[in-house]
Structure 1
């Protein structure tokens, strides 16, 4: 009973839903669409999609999740609502009957979390790609075949000596990371980019800490080390870590929490809206969440 209560309490901190604002008008019945302008758009969407995935670190989505159509959706299920004007992916807050036969994503790979999949489907480039498969003349819906050839980024570039297990899943701070990420998503969705940068910085600090522990740095040595200290240790030890420049940029954004820094770097605050999500996304792609 204690474990069950803890799991329920933990789920309260998860980002609950993301709306997929796919283009319905131009995406139905694409197989019969001969409009050259549409086909150019389709080609660009596909190019952007494969560019986003990268060449090395990806795998088929259906190797990561099993898609089911249960009669009832349980609390905590990862639900993809594939019918209507806007498609949504969300974590079910209560048990309900699945009258609409929505998809439930059952994660079968230990390398992925619900948070990472929520993040993945929140990316505009993925939403655009899925829009190519939308069909239905009366009620728009996304068929299961849309996922047959879908690839998902695999968060594995965490150091040459490490395996492909998600670094945040191993971190002793994983509960805190999940809570911070939920708050980060809320702030991004509501345009609170300054607050989002503080939370992104805190998550990056936890990732750097775990990275250094994996490299053999003693826990006691890292006890009072903060974000800047951890970056300095990585440099002094000449350790190779993915996205080092992104980590440094996020440190500058996070330092805007200090009013004097913010006053001296007021232009950086204006840059947050266009840079925070792009910068942090690069780290999430490689380290997971």
Structure 2
């Protein structure tokens, strides 16, 4: 039977009850499937799957749905068809059409509360992987100036893609001849993307400052600065947040 046979809907600004399975876009190239452990406001960024009476009558639970949607073939299908590269979203119509067997056909159900497959088979992920590999190579060889430049380039690519996925017209960014790290951060502030829990705004600003010292001629000539591994520490929370 399709998933739609087992779930209802919750409108934006309503409360998602504890124990509900939610398909979430977390901003780290992952599609997060989670059974909530507390009541949560529905802000419209996730897809709650509240069970209906039919599901209850047939012993379909949130943990069962999590277990089933986490199976390799099913999870792979969801990730493959998810839109976006930073914030993954599965079209609701596609999600609700996923065929789900009744639990009487399954021997054992995992008690896990979260599963988060990552999307890697796209051009964005390949570019990020290439930049990150070059970054790590330069860190290993203590070429910290080059590493900072690569870290900055990585962040610019991520922010560029993030803005597009949040509704900024690609042509607006493409035609902006003054677009750089600083202006990308300005866009993030204007759209209040930095209000998301855990968003590493202060670390991005710090990295941009260090990157400027590594790349701008006026700073290189007039304010020479020795760069070290400690100048790269601000990149670690960025890596963790965006799942590099």
TM-score tier by shorter-chain length is: 0.3 to 0.5
- TM-score with structure 2 length normalisation? 0.46
